Amino acid sequence: MTDINEPVRTARTATGAAPKETAGIADEAQTADPALLDLAELLFFAYRDFTREPDKILDEFGFGRAHHRVLHFVNRRPGMRVADLLKILKITKQSLGRVLKQLIDEGFIVQEEGKLDRRERLLYPTDRGHELAARLAEPQLERVARALRASRRRGDAKIETFLYQMISEADRPHVERLLRTKLNMDHKQGEPQ
Amino acid sequence: MTDINEPVRTARTATGAAPKETAGIADEAQTADPALLDLAELLFFAYRDFTREPDKILDEFGFGRAHHRVLHFVNRRPGMRVADLLKILKITKQSLGRVLKQLIDEGFIVQEEGKLDRRERLLYPTDRGHELAARLAEPQLERVARALRASRRRGDAKIETFLYQMISEADRPHVERLLRTKLNMDHKQGEPQ
DNA sequence: AAAATAAGTCAACATGACTGACATAAATGA
DNA sequence: TCATTTATGTCAGTCATGTTGACTTATTTT
């Protein structure tokens, strides 16, 4: 142990001042169920690992995560308009414009003039785009499927279990240790470590 | 009903009886259960909205999401070393260094020399840091709690439901519509558009 | 004919990642 | 003891991706 901090209770603000329990303010967070914060952390870890494999593949193409998102949605919903993408991604037109242009220039997406409204530019994946989208999706689907299987295997239908299983296997022991070593634990149970 | 995807027939048995453990490689994504891709999309939307409120608060301080992560983990596990943070965040020392320095300079975190190993710099939140961490956590905890309540209310312990409820209420109708309108659906039913 | 809408563009800037090269202090071990 | 390893910090440069703000063009709507 002592991986992070030793006796959990010794946590103080290092300003010398005693912990004082209520630093006032949003005590919501302090009195809240620690399990909620655990879930928030698990979501962070799950998402952190969820994006790793695709990111690595994208690197080969000189693309980033933004390209992945655009390609994914266009691939899954061909004929989507630029405005639709903006609403989904919640980024600015300029931000989208940059990555979309690259995807078009490099032949992963094509535009087509709308038939009903010729102002619209409908987006479609090319074969190449479809292929890359599938390749990027593969590790993510595998990960989600694995996590669902593991959740069901454990019988508990807990969100916590699913998110934990979304973490890359190699990192799970680390996260597990982390979740056992934190502040606010002693509220519920005097779990020593 | 049909909070997320109503024609569940689309998704053969959510993660299906036969995901078949390591199915074919490349075409995995094409033949895979569409519900898995739905989950991937829901995770994206959930995370997108999960970070919005804190991001807005951080703006007031001239901080970004990176500061939030560092402050959160230091606050919840006081006495953490720099190396611990690096392992958690999986970023480079230089990246961490920049935001950590700002948090220290502006009085949200303090360092203390390790007693056992004087090379170590143990990190602690100041009162101010603790306060900000709590304020940042509050909307996220609220969101997670809400999603859990809604999940339980619906009785189905589905991950899908939880992630869907993690989306900001105002955006849920949009996402719901999106999830009903996508490719791979016509495998089962000829939904036109 | 005027106004609104969909898309695109230019420019400038901020954040937070990255690599690579080093520096310093302290602990460890041969 | 001296050499090596470890923990941390720093300088410098680059890249990806987000932001504002100001405009343009084409087309549809009013």
In this prediction the ipTM stands at 0.85
SS3 at position A7:
coil
Q: What does the alpha-carbon distance between residue A142 and residue B133 come to, in Å, rounded to a whole number? A: 35
At A151 the pLDDT is 87
All structural domains of chain A? 35-183 (1.10.10.10)
Give the residue-averaged pLDDT of A8-18. 36
A23, A138, A159 member nearest B130 (Cβ): A23
Q: Is the pLDDT of residue B159 over 70?
A: yes
Q: What are B26-71's pLDDT values in tens digits?
A: 444 445 678 999 999 999 999 999 999 999 999 999 999 999 999 9
At A155 the pLDDT is 67
Rounded (10°) CA dihedral A26, A27, A33, A38: 50
Of B4 and A36, more confident: A36
At B47 the pLDDT is 98
Question: Which of A20, A148, A149, A171 has the highest number of chain B CBs within 10 A, making it the mutation to test binding with B?
Answer: A148
Q: What does the alpha-carbon distance between residue B112 and residue A15 come to, in Å, rounded to a whole number? A: 10
Q: Does A28 touch chain B (CB under 8 A)?
A: yes
Give the residue-averaged pLDDT of A84-93. 98
At A185 the pLDDT is 60
Q: What are A140-168's pLDDT values in tens digits?
A: 999 999 999 998 888 666 899 999 999 99
Q: What are A100-140's pLDDT values in tens digits?
A: 999 999 999 999 999 999 999 999 999 999 999 999 999 99
At B155 the pLDDT is 66
Please report which confidence band the pLDDT of residue A53 belongs to, taking 50, 70 and 90 as the band edges. Answer: very high
Give the residue-averaged pLDDT of B72-78. 97
Residue B27 DSSP class? T
- The residue that minimises its CA distance to C1' of C24 is B119
A25, A69, A135 member nearest B134 (Cβ): A25
At B31 the pLDDT is 52
Beta bridge partners of B113: B121
Mean of all residue pLDDT scores within chain A: 83
At B152 the pLDDT is 86
Burial zone of A183 (CB within 10 Å; 0-12 exposed, 13-18 middle, 19+ buried): buried
A162 neighbors A145 (Cβ within 8 angstroms): no
Q: Does A86 touch chain B (CB under 8 A)?
A: no
Give the residue-averaged pLDDT of B129-156. 92
At B157 the pLDDT is 67
Write down the residue that tokens 């190993």 correspond to. Answer: B117
Half-sphere exposure of B1 (CA within 13 A, CB side): 3
- Contacting residues of A for B120, CB less than 8 Å apart: none
Task: Label each residue of A117-166 as H, E or C.
Answer: CCCCEEEEECHHHHHHHHHHHHHHHHHHHHHHHHHHHHCCCCHHHHHHHH
SS3 at position A125:
strand
* Bases of chain D with protein Cβ within 7 A: 6-13, 16-22, 26-29
Please report which confidence band the pLDDT of residue B76 belongs to, taking 50, 70 and 90 as the band edges. Answer: very high
At A157 the pLDDT is 67
Please report which confidence band the pLDDT of residue A34 belongs to, taking 50, 70 and 90 as the band edges. Answer: confident
Q: What does the alpha-carbon distance between residue B183 and residue B32 come to, in Å, rounded to a whole number? A: 12
Biggest alpha carbon distance in chain A? 70
Amino acid at B50: F
At B27 the pLDDT is 41
Give the residue-averaged pLDDT of B170-175. 97
Lowest mean pLDDT: which of A28-32, A55-59, B37-41? A28-32
